[in-house]
Amino acid sequence: MAASSQAYRPERAILELGDGFYDPVAAADFPETKLRFRNDRAAAQIGLDALSDTDWLAHFGRFQPLPGSLDQPLALRYHGHQFRVYNPDIGDGRGFLFAQLRDDRGRLMDLATKGSGQTPWSRFGDGRLTLKGGVREILATEMLEALGVETSRTFSLIETGEALERGDEPSPTRSAVMVRLSHGHIRIGTFQRLAYHRDAENMQRLIAYVLRHYFGEEAGEDGAVRLLDHVVRGTAKLAASYMAAGFVHGVLNSDNINVTAESFDYGPWRFAPTWDPGFTAAYFDHAGLYAFGRQPEAIHWDAMQLAVALRAVSEAPPLIAVLDTFGEHYQPAVSNTVLWRLGVRPRDPESDRAVVQAVERGLRGETASIDRFFFDSFGGQVPESQGAAFDEARTILAAYQPRADRSHRYWHGDAPCSMLIDEVEAIWAAIDRDDDWAPLEAKVAAIRNMGEALG
């Protein structure tokens, strides 16, 4: 690695927890490494944007350690409820924590992988990632970041030259290794594992680690309760932001919920074309457990599992009291995220809630495109072309002040930037058929343009 910039601040904080939390592992030795995507915008925030492509491939394709950070990758241990069934046999099965650093806001950040090879937690999996899966994660994270959702960012995607067999898509298919930049990888399932093993000592150690490094607090006697409060507040906001974005994660298991409430790990995600509460992303979600309209309930349920796990070191009543505040944090968060996407300033809780309810009724009544509605209505004026179902929203929004105008070039286009499944498949088809990466590059540029316009 070339001389690091002053912005590069490596960390090794995870080692404070001790080897009961992870397993040292080695990355797979891939046949080749072709750089397909490097996120220099994210890299600049951790002082790595000056890396040459050669050094980038060495660190994020061959996993040579970053100076001053971890000497060896670590596969993290955790449990989790998967579709409400408890599974004690999971952990980092095709990824690992590669490095920790501070970003330009001083936050502790992780560089972690997907598709980097087998670990002790791989079970019967090959530890690999399809190239299509990596492309889909780029699209999901870029779109969510632009729409104001706290999300991990796809940092790197490198094609690795292996042919993978998969039962749910055409095979053999191309392989890749992905690196994500995330504000921590401590999951609700990390706490569940300690509760399962009745390991109160390490539970207290983990509480102290999370409070110190992610929330700037020392644990104290009420550390478990304060930790749960942070998670409930954060996950309520996350659920609200999913709804305003029209996003369906698809697999909201407790091992996929980060205690920093940053969305991550995108598999069968979708953006809903219309406001359909029953819309699902995963073909295997037959009961609609994680359907669009059930996501707040699902995320609240996961927070409940954290409260259950924290009973190992805390009395129940204060945990229950915190858990019961999820709704009171969720409601204003929904209002704020919807008003932000509408481009208007909040007024008062009652009026803001009325706007959200009127918009939702309108979207249901007209089965209108979510993206088209917000695109046409940015600034608070719903055009007549959106139909009579939005008359109530028009009336209420008349009293609202815009937070931004429509001068940005994005608003002068003919259509909103969307990310529906047909376009995802078309972008992948160009890569798969012709090795044509131009549609992906153009889409990322269009998404970032939208993000600038939204502010």
Q: Would you list the DSSP string of 351-414?
A: HHHHHHHHHHHHHHHHT-BHHHHHHHHTTS---GGG-GGGHHHHHHHTTPPBSS-S-SGGGGSS
What letter represents residue 341's amino acid?
Answer: R
Nearest alpha carbon to residue 137 among 249, 30, 34: 249
pLDDT mean by block of 10 residues, the chain; 455 residues: 73 97 98 98 97 98 98 98 97 97 97 98 94 98 98 98 91 97 97 98 98 96 97 98 98 98 97 96 95 98 98 98 98 98 97 97 89 97 94 96 96 96 98 98 98 96
Q: Are 17 and 206 in contact (CB under 8 A)?
A: yes
Catalytic annotation on 255?
A: yes
Q: Are 103 and 45 in contact (CB under 8 A)?
A: yes
Peptide bond into 67 cis (omega under 30): no
Count the neighbouring beta carbons within 10 Å of the beta carbon of residue 193.
25
Q: Are 312 and 194 in contact (CB under 8 A)?
A: yes
What letter represents residue 157's amino acid?
Answer: L
Which two tokens mark 271?
């953006």
Q: Are 204 and 18 in contact (CB under 8 A)?
A: no
Active-site hit among 92, 110, 255, 265:
255
pLDDT at residue 365, rounded to an integer? 83
Reported as half-sphere exposure (CB side, CA atoms, 13 A), residue 167 has a value of 2
Cα-based torsion angle of the residue sequence 204, 232, 79, 77 in order, rounded to the nearest 10 degrees: -60
Nearest alpha carbon to residue 107 among 262, 333, 263, 310: 262
pLDDT at residue 1, rounded to an integer? 56
What letter represents residue 235's amino acid?
Answer: T
| Chain centroid offset of residue 307 CA | 22
Report the sign of the C-alpha dihedral through residues 323, 324, 327, 332, in that order: negative
pLDDT at residue 383, rounded to an integer? 95
Q: Are 13 and 97 in contact (CB under 8 A)?
A: no
* DSSP one-letter code for 91: B
Helix H or strand E segment including 69: none
Say how far apart CA 415 and CA 42 lie, in whole Å: 28
Say how far apart CA 437 and CA 213 lie, in whole Å: 38
Q: What are the residues facing 179 on neighbouring strands?
A: 113, 156
Q: Cα angle vertex 89, ends 83, 94, to 5°? A: 90
What letter represents residue 110's amino acid?
Answer: D
Look at the block and give the residue holding tokens 């498949």: 425
Burial class for 287, CB neighbours closer than 10 Å (0-12, 13-18, 19+): exposed
User: Left (φ > 0), alpha (ψ -120 to 50) or beta: where does 175 sit?
Assistant: beta
Give the end-to-end CA distance of the chain in Å, rounded to a whole number. Answer: 35
Q: Give exposure, 405-420, as e/b (b: 16+ Cβ within 10 Å).
A: eeeeebbeeeebbbbe
